[in-house]
Amino acid sequence: MPILSFILKRVIQAGFVLIAVTLFVSFAIRLTGDPAVMMLRESANVTPEDLERIREGLGLNRPFLVQYGDFIAGLVTGDLGQSFFRGAIAPLVSGALGATLLLALTSLAVSLLISIPLGIYAATHRGSFGDQLVRVLSLAGLSFPNFWLGIMLVLIFSVTLRWLPPSGFTGPQSLIMPAVTIGVILTSTNLRIVRTTMLDVLSSQFIMVARAKGLSQTKVVYKHALRNSSIALVTYLGLQFGSLMGGLVVVELVFNWPGMGTLAIEAIAQRDYPILQTVISILAVLIVAVNLLVDLTYMLLDPRIRLE
């Protein structure tokens, strides 16, 4: 029951957050221009009557709150509606969402597979040459802008060596460079978090007791220390997922990745309100859901933690 009460409370909070986000986005995008003008920008002898006819066909002449209410109702019922320029929104968003989640989850996997082993090594060999090297590499990774790293990878592996496709999604090979670009940036931060928290846990009293009982170094580090130090990493991963959704826009543009970021940029350029509202709303739902999952994961890692 406490868990159900906690989930219900978070769902209600998420509802208010989503309303605030979608309301702001819906209002802000309408300040960028008139879709009717965009649709007729290449036509000659456009009259005000022509523009008004387009606005009426798109439903733009209705009050803002009425348009927003229709959008929310459609979002709740699963009817994402029609784009101003590209037909049904549902297939566009489903394809882009799948591509974005694939890239995001692969990048996180790359980051964790690198950062956790290296962070543990650095913490258990504090002050050694390996520890210093890991810290230098972590600092170097934080210094690289993701768009610059992506461009360098394209120049080396696509233009010069011709090993990988430079852009688009033509198969598993197309995923390598975008995932590495994001994974390197994520690894630099996650590695430092793993190292710092492991150092703190390894110096705690219960670790000393475990060693005094004769437990092996492997058991002490991976069974006891890693589990207790993972709470900080899990917390940061929840925060990182939100920034990752925003950071993917740049990487998707560099690699012409057919994800939510690319779809959102195209919608902004065309003043396509329905698509942009839908993209922002779905990303907001994902971020809220991931942070709820992080809160529930705390109890699995440390049963002493209570959900409030």
Question: How would you write 182-208 as a 3-class SS string?
Answer: HHHHHHHHHHHHHHHHHHHHHCCHHHH
Considering the entire predicted model, what is its pTM?
A: 0.82
- pLDDT value of residue 303: 63
Q: How far is CA 239 from the centre of its chain?
A: 9
Burial-class residue 130 by CB neighbours within 10 Å (0-12, 13-18, 19+). Answer: middle
- pLDDT value of residue 40: 74
- pLDDT value of residue 106: 92
Planar angle of CA 169, 172, 176, nearest 5 degrees: 90
- pLDDT value of residue 307: 55
CA gap 239, 236 in Å, rounded = 5
Please give the full DSSP string across 227-265, using - where no structure is assigned: HHHHHHHHHHHHHHHHHHHHHHHHHHHHTT--SHHHHHH
CA gap 136, 131 in Å, rounded = 9
pLDDT tens string, the chain, 308 residues long: the values are 667 787 788 788 878 888 888 888 888 887 777 777 777 776 767 788 888 888 888 888 888 888 888 888 888 888 888 888 888 898 999 999 999 999 999 999 999 999 999 999 999 999 899 999 999 988 888 888 888 889 999 999 999 998 999 888 888 899 999 999 998 888 988 999 999 999 999 888 888 888 888 888 888 888 888 888 888 888 888 878 877 877 788 888 889 899 998 898 888 888 888 898 889 888 888 888 888 788 777 777 766 665 55
* C-beta separation of 82 from 88 below 8 A: yes
**SS3 assignment for 17-35:** HHHHHHHHHHHHHCCCCCH
Half-sphere exposure of 167 (CA within 13 A, CB side): 11
Q: Which amino acid is at 43?
A: S
Q: Which amino acid is at 175?
A: L
- pLDDT value of residue 133: 93
- pLDDT value of residue 157: 93
Residue 88 main-chain phi, psi, to 5 deg: -65, 135
Q: What domains are defined for the chain?
A: 18-77 (no CATH), 98-271+290-306 (1.10.3720.10)
Structure tokens, 89: 């929104």
Residue with tokens 């360098």: 152
* C-beta separation of 97 from 252 below 8 A: no
Residues with Cβ < 8 Å from 115, sequence gap 6 or more? Answer: 186, 187, 190, 191, 193, 194
Among 57, 60, 67, which residue's Cα sits nearest to residue 22? 67
